[in-house]
């Protein structure tokens, strides 16, 4: 999915002061491996390549949520399977002993929604400084950019000056888009839309615009093939491009550049990162059922899920998750 805000470089002093405030905006270093902006396409399940660590990680986050996927990194295989069995009982809504694709889809949507609202709850108090159960633009601006605004001379010669000069109006624009009643304050729901715009229909134009601004390095209002690739992959030496990069170039030509003019406009970017005919939860549920359904009856028993437990949850032995702290009753 369009996936969060872009990399930003912070100076040491500013980073220390703002790390907490900026944490929900997903600060990351620019990767040298593949980076996705959109939920992976729903390819024909029978043609999927064998699962590897990276795709298992994706399954774990979809099934458990980004935070709760950490659970099973701390557990033995037996402990992981025991906890997974308790989760399966909760997914089986009608108690018939089978988990259907629809039940899995409902669970994955619930996990995704819980992650988003838990994330907002964790950071809410850092921004709601006057404790009025709303966050004004001024509160957010001061919590996030206060030190920079109060000490601009410290950053005149650094890349941070340019970064924050760019990010401040961009955040204000996004805040205004999330603020549906225009009162310059955000309710819990409006602030959720601000932090997770890809989850809200009225915020999708902002997601498209920010994506364009991030990738369009020459400022011509379009994304050409080299800019498209540079957003996913960064050469650190003169070695040949990996096969997946060559494949992405073909994807750009065949499927991204719909009007074949050699570049992506806003409509083509929207089609790429926010595909209208794609249901992430449905695709992931179908994938998990397909990979685990030994007798091909299109539904899963608890035994079938537990036999393929490492796809769902991972373990310390395989090092596929991170570290789950919540008890299964909290899931």
pLDDT score, position 222? 98
Distance CA 324, CA 111 (A): 14
Q: By mean pLDDT, which of 37-46, 86-95, 176-185, 309-318 is the weakest?
A: 37-46
Whether 128 shows a pLDDT value over 70: the answer reads yes
pLDDT digits (tens, 9 = 90+) for 184-228: 999 999 999 999 999 999 999 999 999 999 999 999 999 999 999
pLDDT score, position 73? 66
Contact 321, 313 (CB under 8 A): yes
One-character DSSP codes across 247-311: HHHHHIIIII-TT-SSEE-HHHHHHHHS-TT--HHHHHHHHHHHHH-TT-SSEEEHHHHHHTHHH
pLDDT score, position 314? 54
Where residue 317 falls among pLDDT bands split at 50, 70, 90? very low
DSSP H or E segment with residue 243: helix 243-251
């Amino acid at each position: 999915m369009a996936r969060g805000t872009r990399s930003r470089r912070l100076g040491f002093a500013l980073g220390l002061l703002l790390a907490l405030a900026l944490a929900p905006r997903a600060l990351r270093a620019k990767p040298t491996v593949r980076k996705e902006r959109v939920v992976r396409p729903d390819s024909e399940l029978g043609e999927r390549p064998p699962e590897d660590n990276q795709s298992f990680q994706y399954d774990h986050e979809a099934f458990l949520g980004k935070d709760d996927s950490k659970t099973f990194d701390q557990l033995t295989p037996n402990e992981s399977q025991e906890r997974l069995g308790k989760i399966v009982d909760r997914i089986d809504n009608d108690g018939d002993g089978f988990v259907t694709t629809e039940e899995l889809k409902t669970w994955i949507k619930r996990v995704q929604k819980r992650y988003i609202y838990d994330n907002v709850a964790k950071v809410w108090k850092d921004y709601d400084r006057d404790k009025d159960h709303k966050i004004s633009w001024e509160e957010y601006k001061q919590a996030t950019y206060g030190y920079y605004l109060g000490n601009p001379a410290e950053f005149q010669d650094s890349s941070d000056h340019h970064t924050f000069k760019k990010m401040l109006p961009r955040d204000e624009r996004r805040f205004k888009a999330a603020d549906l009643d225009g009162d310059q304050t955000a309710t819990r729901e409006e602030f959720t839309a601000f932090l997770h715009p890809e989850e809200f229909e009225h915020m999708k134009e902002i997601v498209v615009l920010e994506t364009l601004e991030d990738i369009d390095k020459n400022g011509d209002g379009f994304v050409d093939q080299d800019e498209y690739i540079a957003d996913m992959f960064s050469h650190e030496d003169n070695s040949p491009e990996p096969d997946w990069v060559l494949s992405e170039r073909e994807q750009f030509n065949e499927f991204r550049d719909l009007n074949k003019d050699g570049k992506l406009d806003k409509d083509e970017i929207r089609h790429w990162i926010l595909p209208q005919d794609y249901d992430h939860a449905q695709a992931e549920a179908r994938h998990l059922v397909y990979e685990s359904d030994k007798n091909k009856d299109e539904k899963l028993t608890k035994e079938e899920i537990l036999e393929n437990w490492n796809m769902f949850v991972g373990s310390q032995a395989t090092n596929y998750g991170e570290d789950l702290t919540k008890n299964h009753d909290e899931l």
